[in-house]
Amino acid sequence: MSLLDAAAAPVTAFLSIARLAARGLAGIGTYHRVIDGVRWCWSEAGPRDGEPLILLHGFAGDKDNWAFFTLLLAQRYRLICPDLPGFGDSGRVANGGYSIAEQARRLEAFLDALGIDACHLGGNSMGGFVALTFALDHPHRLRSLLLLNNAGVNGDRMTDTQQAILDGSNPMQVKSIDDVDFLLGIILHDPPYIPLIFRQLLLLQLARREKLHDEIFAQIARDAIENPLNDRLGDVRVPTLILWGSSDNLLHVAAATTQHEAIPGAELAIIEKAGHVPMVERPFRTAAVSMDFLARHGCRSTAPAGKKQRQTGKGRP
């Protein structure tokens, strides 16, 4: 055990206990199951007979990225937030296959294992890339689709970070505290003050899976560069809501407009004062827009005929 491991151990233990306690108080349960040889972990909240809403986190994220968002929707929906294999508390994939297509196939197996024939599906960043791919391949299994700052679609403009990825670098690598600060600045509109010990803990957690995450990033970056979904957007046949943090420094908001114009009947909501993870920075606004959309696209709903766009910047954070 390194000195940093030893120093961080009490903080890690405290945070784990606090996280479990918070989930328990909020009625969020945690579950585990081996599916096709891969150990899945997921959180679940809401009525068991509610319409299922599956939420997929982004690269290097986990199920807790959706914690506040989950609480706001759990009265009506059965919220299921998995740690995608290779992240969080889920296991690794034996063959090392983490392409978007492979992740979409594993999502199908996950739904089958839970006995979910049809659901609402949402995804952020990498998770949104997986969700959009799943919607194109299995539209009959979805009631609606929520895309939050999703990867996999190119707009007519790029951020500096996107350009760096296109040039072959990995700006998401974290090897120092400065890298942690840089990453938070890319992802968040207004990064909060985080005490050094917690930033060191984040660095330690990321370092433990550095090699694996480098491998996963290379695969999804290759998919984003070589196989973007722009040409398939017109084939989406699922009611779709695109939510985008206006201050995303990772994926340019221009991609939201591209999708809104190309996906039949898509709705677009720009979340002001939010970056790459609007469900984290602006959970109340993001949840309010999502609930309005979901209420109109339940079991008996069909895709809307026209397009809608809204600006959301007021109200609670």
* The pLDDT value given to residue 19: 54
CB-based contact 259:44 (threshold 8 Å):
no
Q: In what order do the strands lie in the sheet with 29-35?
A: 29-35, 38-45, 77-83, 51-56, 119-124, 142-148, 240-245, 267-271, 308-312
CATH code: domain 3-312 is 3.40.50.1820
pLDDT along the chain (317 residues), means of 10: 43 44 66 97 94 97 92 92 97 93 98 98 98 98 98 96 90 88 92 87 85 94 96 98 97 98 98 96 96 86 45 39
* The pLDDT value given to residue 94: 87
Q: What's the CA gap between 69 and 89, in Å, rounded?
A: 20
Written as one letter, the residue type at 61 is: G
What's the whole-model pTM score? 0.88
| DSSP 8-state assignment for residue 234 | G
Written as one letter, the residue type at 245 is: G
Count of beta carbons in the 10 Å neighbourhood of residue 175: 11
* The pLDDT value given to residue 122: 98
Bridge partners, residue 41, by sequence: 32, 83
Residue 155, sorted as left (phi over 0), alpha (psi -120 to 50) or beta, turns out to be: beta
Written as one letter, the residue type at 79 is: L
* The pLDDT value given to residue 114: 98
* Cα torsion through 297, 301, 303, 308, rounded to 10: -50
Alpha helices, DSSP H only, in 26-159? Answer: 67-73, 100-113, 126-137
Look at strands 77-83 and 38-45 and give their pairing. antiparallel
* The pLDDT value given to residue 302: 38
